[in-house]
Structure 1
Amino acid sequence: MTVSRLRNIPGIGVDRMGDAADAPKNRNILRLENLDTDLRPPAEAIRRTHEAVDDDDANSYLPFTGQTALRQAVVARMKQSTGIDYDAGSECIISAGGLAGILNVLLSILEPGDEVVLTDPTYAGLINRVLLAGGVPKFARLLPSTDASADGWRLDLESLASAVGPRTRAFLIMSPSMPSGFVANETEWHAIAEHCRRTDAWLVYDAAMERILFDGHNVIHPASLPEMRERTFTVGSVSKEYRMIGWRVGWIVGPERVMNDVRLTSLSNVVCQVGIGMPGATAALTCADDGVAQAVAVWQARRDFLLNALRDLPVVRPDGGWSLLIDTTQFGIAPPDASRLLLEKGEVAATPMNGWGPQAQRYLRFVFANESVERLTDIRERVRAAWSI
């Protein structure tokens, strides 16, 4: 019997797709279903993590809010992104990965029935965490373009306004966004900020992919906008930009007036972070060459290859992130069926976007973070074999 808080949570689908891709033996399956990457973390982060295994100070619960050096490194990075000073002691908490940080923030700011505005499509895990925290998701539509020379996705500002109501308590926005690769521009961030100010709502900014930007896009951090420092939580991690998925280290930066509540939630939930992971995370944030620019260049090359190889199909160009979406309903195949056929006939693992927002169910996601261009060379032939198009 399912408890009520789980009744409307379908999962994320990626886990089931990953299990299906792992099952066949002796098959050359392209792994486009999950947000892993084959690119290595910063060398200094790996070296420092090895040292931490033998460091008794890293085998500790303390400090509960995260190691001091890491919190200082996080607020230094925030200064670079926002131009704003944050206090490492009172305005930064280290979390056990970025999504644990988001859940802790939502649990700290939502009353049951409060509404949270998200983009559509968006990561199912964000929607699920709103539901777990007792919130009600409301969706602002992203508008796709399949013209390779145009913006891939734009936020429908009328849909954004329609999603805001008397019970709006927070906006949960990721940019670049999973799974679409939507990157909010200045006009869109200002519109979101204006709704936050007008409704006295929080902005929870998922910055996990903040610097994974293509085609010369620049970081726009919403906390730097007028009157937004005091109502913005920035939640980041080393998982994506620094290619450190297994470390499970993230952070929450927000205004002092509410961070004590977030601290209490964090202590009551995961308690503390991965002790041996934090020194490596600190090294990643402070080393001379974090490899982010080089990694972004590789991911953009993979994106560009896929866009060209699939140019005759309804693929929407991502402006950042690790994945792109294809609208399989436009050629008459529901995404779950498209996914099944791809795996069975094309040896490609890709996840349908059911549960990733109301309009997301039209799409199948291709992740390009974990397969090289050389491995992707025959992707169009594999798709043709699976879908006969």
Structure 2
Amino acid sequence: MQDLIRTNAALLLISIASFILMGAATALYGPALPVFSRDYDIQIGTAGLMISAHWIGCSLGVAAMFFAGQRATPRMVVAAMTLGAGLMALGLAWPLTLLGAVILGMGYGCATVVFNPRMLRAFGARGPAMLSLLNATFGIGAIGAPLVFVALGNDPVLSFGICALMGVVITACAGPAGRDATVVANAPSTPFRFNLPILIFGAVAISVEACLTGLGPAALINAGLSETAAAQLLSAFFLAFLAARIGLMFVAGLLASFSLFTLSLIGAFLAALVAALWAPGPGFVALGFCAGMFFPTEYVTATRKMGDNVKVAPTIIGAGLVGGVFAPLVLSPFLSSMGARGFFWVVAGVTGLLALAALANLRSMNR
């Protein structure tokens, strides 16, 4: 294992730094929504379009990677995220902010395709554990960003400016990682095997995650919490998110990946019920723990079913982005009219139905 780490050190370090940046930028959307709504004098539902703009950008980035993924380098994808965060930091006009979210999303989508499959392949049998480690570092940025946001006086311009500065530093250091990534990407691969069921599971699960991270703070405010409390709970959400992904490093080899995915759905259903019936704050944080397991367990299952062909990763991630784009777009206009805890009832319904479907397909998915 130490030899593998030394061989792929540049790829590992830049991957981790990039995922911290991705987590920080994504976690800012939720607490920034009410502020952008006031600053640009727009409805909260209109401000929610920023989340969909991000995921639309992700979809464009993943689509580009499907056709030209082997040409992309870590430096290129981080530079795109940096440009997007920089545009949002300017705070000049709402259309420019939306454009920044699209470009940031494009870099984000490309980064998931550049880093995830290469890490999985570079570390061989330890690949699933290292994938969990990489995706856990996403939580580091996601935990810190809302706290920094509050410390800066709920200022999205300064917060996104810090993300842009981080991106500049990572881009400047990403050259050696590009060489490691190219070596891993050009290794022999298996044929492409399309598997629709696992892609549907991923699309629905990621739609829930996107709604929780993007609309969760606004839903907490609807439930009677302050903006500051909602931002702090988002940090706690991502702390639980991080804990789940660190835990996956130790259990990934003990339980089948789809079994872990199913357990995470059952847990999310129960946590959403807690948020809807009794305590929105603790229930939301518990949802963070469950959501932290969605992507790594589904991704490992999907690659096992579909192979490690260069087109597999963008297909898996693209399917998840379908949910990430459309779910916030559909829900955000109704958020203010759902009632105090209607958002959490929706989450409970979706995760409950998906958990039942996962239980029905457990044997075939683990085969």
Normalising TM by the smaller chain, what interval?
Answer: under 0.3
> TM-score normalized by structure 1?
0.26
Q: What is the TM-score with the length of structure 2 in the denominator?
A: 0.27
| Richer in helix (by share) | 2
